[in-house]
């Protein structure tokens, strides 16, 4: 009998799929082992932190604490101290105006008096009262610094334009709603 030619078996992708599934399972298992190791490591690290720290790390931490305390001290300084430096040139005095949606407060830095609060039901009345208050501060001798609170931001350009039309040099800065630069 002669040799019969055998037909080769067809290539199956099922075995390839089995290989990929097995390797994926092995990779997931390794990732889980690494995660468990990471979860256990912080407990071991906390034990290690009880060891004495080197002097360099302690001095750096002390410097950081001193700088943070200094930062808090500067943040706690009232804004009027910084604004008081503006008027040291001796040429013109500075009049602060805090402009909020419900009120306008005016304080002349050089007079050391409490601020005058102008509260009225309408915006036009508050502006009229402001112009009457500013009559005591002529534009030739006074500059205005308008501190605009977020509630009055929409109408602040109109107020600044009005003050400039009266001859004042006007500077303006934003001011957080819950802060005040005036000395009460």
Same domain for 30 and 83?
Answer: no
Q: Are 89 and 167 within one domain?
A: yes
* 107 and 164 part of one domain: yes
**Does any domain span residue 98?**
yes
Average pLDDT, the chain: 78
- The first and second tokens of residue 158, run together, are 């109109």
Residue 46 is part of which domain span? 14-76
70 and 86 share one domain: no
Shared domain for 53 and 93, answered yes or no, is no
My answer on whether 133 and 107 are in the same domain is: yes
Domain-embedded: residue 164: yes
What is the C-alpha separation between 133 and 115, in angstroms, rounded? Answer: 11
Is pLDDT larger for residue 14 or for residue 102?
A: 102
- Average of per-residue pLDDT across 64-92: 62
Those residues with Cβ within 8 angstroms of residue 145's Cβ, 6 or more apart along the chain or in another chain = 83, 86, 94, 95, 96, 97, 170, 171, 172, 173
**Same domain for 101 and 154?**
yes
Average pLDDT over residues 74-98: 62
Same-domain check for residues 62 and 141: no
Residue 83 and residue 119 in one domain: yes
Domain boundary, last residue among 24, 42, 76? 76
Q: Is the pLDDT of residue 175 over 60?
A: yes
88 and 49 assigned to the same domain: no
| SS3 call for 169 | strand
Tens-place pLDDT, residues 87-127: 455 578 888 888 888 888 888 877 778 888 888 778 888 88
Q: Which residue has the tokens 């009457």?
A: 132
Residue 1 lies in a domain: no
Q: Are 57 and 19 in the same domain?
A: yes
Can you give the pLDDT at residue 27? 94
149's tokens: 């609170």
Q: Is residue 44 part of a domain?
A: yes
Q: Is the pLDDT of residue 151 over 70?
A: yes
Enumerate residues 6+ apart whose C-beta is below 8 A from 148: 99, 156, 172, 173, 174, 175
- Go through 107-127 and write b for each residue having 16 or more CB atoms within 10 A of its CB, e for each that does not: bbbeeeeebeebeeeeeeebb
Q: Residue 39 domain-assigned?
A: yes
Confidence of residue 84 (pLDDT cuts 50, 70, 90): very low
Higher pLDDT, 183 or 53: 183
Q: How many domains does the chain have?
A: 2
Rounded Cα–Cα distance for residues 167 and 143 (Å) = 10
Q: What is the DSSP pairing of strand 93-99 with strand 142-149?
A: parallel
Residue-wise DSSP of 84-103: HGGGGGSSSEEEEEEE-SS-
pLDDT digits (tens, 9 = 90+) for 29-66: 999 999 888 887 765 655 555 555 566 666 778 888 88
Q: Are residues 25 and 65 in the same domain?
A: yes
Lowest mean pLDDT among 52-66, 76-90, 148-162: 76-90
- Of the candidates 76, 97, 120, which is a domain's last residue? 76
pTM: 0.50
Q: What length does the chain have?
A: 184
> Residue 165 maps to which CATH number?
3.30.420.40
Q: What is the pLDDT of residue 85?
A: 42
Q: Last residue of some domain: 46, 61, 76?
A: 76
């Amino acid at each position: 009998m002669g040799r019969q030619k055998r037909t080769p078996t067809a290539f199956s992708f099922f075995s390839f799929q089995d290989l990929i599934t097995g390797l994926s399972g092995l990779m997931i298992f390794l990732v889980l082992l690494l995660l468990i190791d990471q979860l256990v490591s912080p407990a071991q690290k906390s034990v290690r932190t009880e060891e004495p720290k080197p002097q360099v790390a302690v001095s750096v931490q002390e410097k950081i604490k001193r700088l943070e305390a200094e930062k808090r001290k500067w943040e706690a300084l009232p804004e009027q101290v910084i604004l008081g430096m503006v008027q040291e040139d001796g040429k013109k005095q500075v009049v602060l105006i805090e402009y909020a949606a419900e009120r306008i407060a005016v304080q002349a830095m050089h007079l050391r008096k409490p601020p005058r609060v102008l509260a009225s039901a309408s915006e036009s009345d508050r502006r009229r009262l402001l112009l009457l208050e500013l009559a005591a501060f002529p534009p030739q001798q006074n500059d205005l610094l308008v501190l605009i609170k977020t509630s009055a931001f929409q109408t602040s350009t109109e107020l600044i334009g009005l003050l400039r039309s009266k001859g004042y040099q006007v500077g303006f800065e934003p001011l957080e709603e819950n802060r005040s630069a005036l000395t009460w």
